[in-house]
Amino acid sequence: MASFRNKFQDAVRTFARSPRFTKDPRKLQFEVDINRLFMYTSYNSLGKNADEADAEHIIDMASKASFADQQKQVQENIHNQIKNLCTAMDAILLNVNEPQESQSKATPSRSGLSFAIGRNGPTNNHPDVPKTRPLKRTELSQRLKDSIGYTLDVKQSQIPHSEAGQGLFLNGEATVGSVIAIYPGVIYSPAYYRYIPGYPRVDAQNTYLITRYDGTVINAQPWGYGGETRELWDGSKMLDAKLNTDATEKGSDRFWKMLSKPLESSRVGNGEVLERRNPLALAHFANHPAKDTVPNVMICPYDFPLTEKDMRAYIPNLSFGNAEEVNMRRFGSFWFRWGSRNSESNGPVLKTLVLVATTALCDEEVLLNYRLSNSKRRPSWYTPVDEEEDRRRWS
């Protein structure tokens, strides 16, 4: 398997120098990442019997397929895996021989935070929560491992620096190209940046933020470890204080908070019925690798089609506001409103992120290249995996 990974990596480096790739550094890095994901996930889709000849064939396909075709294939590959994961959890949690009854119609508890999530509507119009088997989160995790071969644990990181804290560990075995974890939380399109808690210094007290190439930000802080039920979730539940970042509020942070407070929304959506016990909704606990250590997963954008109603409970995300109501265009470091409402030709989607294995994994810590911007002062513990990729990502 290591030889296959080396073949894919060599192919990516060759493709990155190809004249058919864009010359814009940021877009180039995105195309390189999609090229890499195309090879990993396509190889995974062939199953456990895939061999070196299959790897060579995939590399040849990657050298000829257009970027648009590769991006479409990656989405299809990821969606098929997510669908299989949802089917496995349905088999564990739902009794197919009994009609689904409502577990609760109660209004979700709120913590004082107000989120504009989903559609506008009457506050008493809440979706029913289907009845599921009363399994604890740990029980569901173990049964999922029995079904698909792996699950996830959060425990003390093995990375040797004081700020590593807790890390994400794969419990079991997963093949290259497998979806390892889903990044949970509240999704903000560029049109709603000013609603992110702590704006404009959104990362001063929150280390659970991540950004897609298209500018979409996901805040995993409200999700925490998840929960112990399938419930109506509106994004208002925050991490326990002990799980929050250890960063202390400095004078400059207090200044920015007073200068520009985040906007408060007057619209409150109904939330969504989500499976808070989802064992794979823990991607935000993955750590950056230590010096001389390579990452074993990479980020993959995944646009979940909201038409897939049967899968929705296992996608641990909510959109802040109507993510499709404003079309935004990026110019340099800034986002501007552009044209009229944005429409999705294939229907509405949730712009999420998943972690994909870049090598075969077995009972080990999940390590993700954070690719922190080199235009800002980076933490002392951060060692770039590839400085050139960091520069291209944030150019």
Give the H or E element holding residue 87. Answer: helix 67-93
Strand order in the sheet with 317-319: 209-211, 217-219, 185-188, 317-319
Candidate CATH numbers 3.40.30.10, 3.20.20.70, 2.170.270.10, 1.10.1040.10; the one for domain 132-237+252-394: 2.170.270.10
Cβ 260 vs Cβ 200: under 8 Å: yes
* pLDDT tens by residue, 71-87: 999 999 999 999 999 99
Helix axis angle for 25-45 and 67-93, nearest 10°, is: 50
CA separation for the pair 227, 275 (Å, rounded): 8
Cβ 277 vs Cβ 230: under 8 Å: yes
Which three-class secondary structure state does DSSP give residue 367?
strand
* pLDDT tens by residue, 205-221: 788 999 999 999 999 99
Buried/exposed 49-64: b ≥16 CB within 10 Å, e otherwise: ebeeeebeebbeebee
* pLDDT tens by residue, 99-153: 555 554 444 444 434 344 444 444 456 678 899 999 999 999 999 999 999 999 9
Look at 37-46, 117-126, 370-379 and tell me which has the smallest mean pLDDT.
117-126
- CA nearest to 249, candidates 195, 185, 198: 198
Cβ 273 vs Cβ 310: under 8 Å: no
Hey, how many other C-beta atoms are within 10 angstroms of the C-beta on 176? 23
What is the rounded average pLDDT of the residues 36-60?
A: 91
Q: Which residue has the higher pLDDT, 50 or 209?
A: 209
Cβ 274 vs Cβ 313: under 8 Å: yes
C-alpha angle 316-319-323 in degrees, rounded to nearest 5: 145
pLDDT greater than 80 at residue 183? yes
pLDDT greater than 70 at residue 40? yes
